[in-house]
Amino acid sequence: MCLAIPGKVIEIAQDENGVRMGRANFGGIVKQVCLEYTPDVHLGDFVLVHVGFALGKVDEEEAARTYKLLEEMKQLSELEVPTGDGADAGARGSP
Amino acid sequence: MKLLDEYRNEALAQKIVAEIRRTVTRPWVLMEVCGGQTHSIVKYGLDRLLPAQVELVHGPGCPVCVTSLEMIDKAHAIARRPEVIFCSFGDMLRVPGSGADLLIIKSRGADVRVVYSPIDCLKIARANPDRKVVFFAIGFETTAPANAMAVWQARHQGLKNFSILVSHVLVPPSIASILQSPLNRVQGFLGPGHVCTVMGYREYEPLSARFHVPIVITGFEPLDLLEGTLMAIRQLEAGEAKVENQYGRVVSREGNRVAQEFVNKVFEVCDRKWRGVGSIPKSGYKLRWEFRDHDAERLFDVKEIDTQEPEECISGLVLRGVKKPHDCPAFGKQCTPDHPLGATMVSAEGACAAYYAYGRHLQTAEEKAFFPS
């Protein structure tokens, strides 16, 4: 019910009632989105959309930063020497 | 899809799980608040990836599940009226009241329509000036801005034939209610990422301090949920209790101020009855007096309806994290998505329905020994 997915804003316009509307692309599917709650969003930004409303901007820099941290955690754990009984290496499930 | 697929990376998920294994030294019980998170956890089997010491229990964050039987019966009474076009999100249609559900009522001739957004109802109202268009406005804080905008626009555009039946619920009072219960087992929370996109997480800070529980605002993808779990376990192991934000790419401490202001213009906080849980003070929204012309409960003057839940259903205990779907003798037997006995089986986001959808009722004895519920 609280499902919300990120879409890329590809059009911004005012409708006949003066509401800030637009269209967003969700991996190929384009839908109309109300942008009234995201006045600072520009074309090309990603917004999080719930029941036709953009609830906020997705911060791509923050997304990249936290993803990098997760990847670094992976590298750090790979530097660790297995304990020898194999259980630890198994638990890490190296690909 | 960008900003989704990368958070489903299996190798990274395994690494976070390994980090959780290294961190945890004793048993902990965490609750994910939101039904969308429950659905992701069961869909991807994340609870089974975690070490046995970390137990995830499932929270009350499924608005379809917690909408009271009385409110559903009111919706049905309104939907049956010949002058009404009754609009709803799709997942509400199959939810049984004490008698039928909206699909059955539709099959008997009522005009019941599924909409994607409450804004769609305004078009229907404009196209049908001689009919009364009613939208069943359920949801948590995530959905409140959309419903507020629909009412605001209806008034602004002079659409007098549009109203909403409000059954809005709020997350923080439900967390307090869970923590105050003598049956409570929950020691930390994965907070609702999309509710906090709107509301921010300031109001979770006094909760975390008062009950000394970690609350980690968490997203909905597998890596989000695993990282949120790791952050909560780190706090618990260190004896800390604070609010942290795993979902920083979307959530800020302040939330969406524009949306909050709009919601406050249209709605005010009220007491609300939750299905399976009971009445929780100040746990819902109702329309402000100045929007009473768009309040379906006033316009249709539906009498208070007293209803009884089936006795064998334990959904109230499931919603508070005291029991799991497996603990119910009716689960997967008398109670299935086709014949739900209670709240948590009626919506796809209910814990019982999620367990059923991903085959947890078909577990073999061997699996049960390996993955105790």
What Cα–Cα distance (Å) separates residue B236 from each residue in B83, B190, B365?
Answer: 56, 13, 33
Which CATH number applies to B65-170+255-300: 3.40.50.11740, 3.20.10.10, 3.40.640.10, 3.40.50.10470? Answer: 3.40.50.11740
What local confidence, expressed as pLDDT, does residue B118 receive? 95
CA of A39, closest CA in chain B: separation in Å? Answer: 8
What local confidence, expressed as pLDDT, does residue B277 receive? 84
CA of B55, closest CA in chain A: separation in Å? Answer: 18
What local confidence, expressed as pLDDT, does residue A84 receive? 40
A90-94, B127-131, B332-336: least confident range: A90-94
- In the stretch 207-246 of chain B, residues with CB closer than 8 A to chain A read 220, 223, 227
Contact partners, residue B44, CB within 8 Å, separation at least 6: B8, B222
What token pair was written down for B181?
């219960």
pLDDT digits (tens, 9 = 90+) for B11-70: 899 999 999 999 999 999 999 999 999 999 999 999 999 999 999 999 999 998 899 888
What Cα–Cα distance (Å) separates residue B54 from each residue in B30, B216, B226, B363?
Answer: 7, 15, 11, 20
Question: One-letter amino acid identity for B155?
Answer: R
Q: Does B62 touch chain A (CB under 8 A)?
A: yes
Q: Does B154 touch chain A (CB under 8 A)?
A: no
pLDDT category of residue A58 using cuts at 50, 70 and 90: very high
- In the stretch 313-352 of chain B, residues with CB closer than 8 A to chain A read 347, 349
Question: What is the Cα–Cα distance from B326 to A12, expressed in whole angstroms?
Answer: 48
Question: One-letter amino acid identity for B257?
Answer: R
pLDDT category of residue B371 using cuts at 50, 70 and 90: low
- Helix, strand, coil shares of chain B, percent, nearest 5, are 45, 20, 35
Q: Does B64 touch chain A (CB under 8 A)?
A: yes
What token pair was written down for B98?
């004490």
What local confidence, expressed as pLDDT, does residue A60 receive? 87
Q: What's the gap between Cα A63 and its chain centre?
A: 7
| Whether pTM exceeds 0.95 | no
CA of B251, closest CA in chain A: separation in Å? Answer: 8
pLDDT category of residue A89 using cuts at 50, 70 and 90: very low
- Residue A87 pLDDT > 50: no
- Expressed in angstroms, the distance from the first to the final Cα of chain A is 35
What local confidence, expressed as pLDDT, does residue A20 receive? 97
What local confidence, expressed as pLDDT, does residue A81 receive? 44
CA of B74, closest CA in chain A: separation in Å? Answer: 21
Q: Does B293 touch chain A (CB under 8 A)?
A: no
Using left for φ > 0, alpha for ψ between -120 and 50, and beta otherwise, residue B193 falls in alpha
Over residues A2-29, the mean pLDDT reads 92
Question: What is the Cα–Cα distance from B102 to B194, expressed in whole angstroms?
Answer: 28
Angle B158-B163-B167 (CA atoms, 0-180°, nearest 5)? 145
User: Other CB atoms closer than 10 Å to residue B280's CB: what's the count?
Assistant: 20
DSSP-derived 3-state class of residue B353: helix
What token pair was written down for B122?
């305004």
What local confidence, expressed as pLDDT, does residue B365 receive? 57
pLDDT digits (tens, 9 = 90+) for A28-52: 899 999 999 999 999 999 999 999 9
Q: Does B369 touch chain A (CB under 8 A)?
A: no
Over residues B321-326, the mean pLDDT reads 91
Give me the residue spans of the domains in chain A: 1-81
What local confidence, expressed as pLDDT, does residue B166 receive? 97
- Residue B367 pLDDT > 80: no
Of B118, B140, B250, the CB nearest to A48: B250
Percent of chain B with pLDDT over 70: 97
- Cβ of B15 and A26 within 8 Å? no
Chain B residue closest to A48 (CA)?
B250
Most confident residue range from B1-15, B156-170, B317-331, B337-351: B156-170
Q: What is the largest CA-CA distance in chain B?
A: 66
Of B12, B36, B157, the CB nearest to A1: B36
What local confidence, expressed as pLDDT, does residue B311 receive? 79
Question: What is the Cα–Cα distance from A14 to B131, expressed in whole angstroms?
Answer: 28
pLDDT category of residue A68 using cuts at 50, 70 and 90: confident
User: Other CB atoms closer than 10 Å to residue A64's CB: what's the count?
Assistant: 13
Question: What is the Cα–Cα distance from B325 to B333, expressed in whole angstroms?
Answer: 12
- Cβ of B21 and A91 within 8 Å? yes
Of A5, A27, A51, the CB nearest to B146: A51
Over residues B339-363, the mean pLDDT reads 86
Q: Does B268 touch chain A (CB under 8 A)?
A: no
pLDDT category of residue B343 using cuts at 50, 70 and 90: confident
Q: Does A90 touch chain B (CB under 8 A)?
A: no
Q: Does B52 touch chain A (CB under 8 A)?
A: no
Closest of B236, B251, B146 to residue B192, by C-alpha? B251
Average pLDDT, chain A: 80
Size of interface A-B (CB pairs under 8 A): 145
Q: Which residue has the higher pLDDT, B230 or B369?
A: B230
- The DSSP code sequence of B141-185 is TTTHHHHHHHHHHHHHTT-TTEEEEEEEE-HHHHHHHHHHSTT--
Give me the residue spans of the domains in chain B: 65-170+255-300, 315-365
Question: What is the Cα–Cα distance from B46 to B51, expressed in whole angstroms?
Answer: 10
What local confidence, expressed as pLDDT, does residue A79 receive? 52
- In the stretch 97-126 of chain B, residues with CB closer than 8 A to chain A read 116-120
- The DSSP code sequence of B89-114 is -GGGTT---SS--HHHHHHTT-EEEE
CATH classification (class only), A1-81: mainly beta
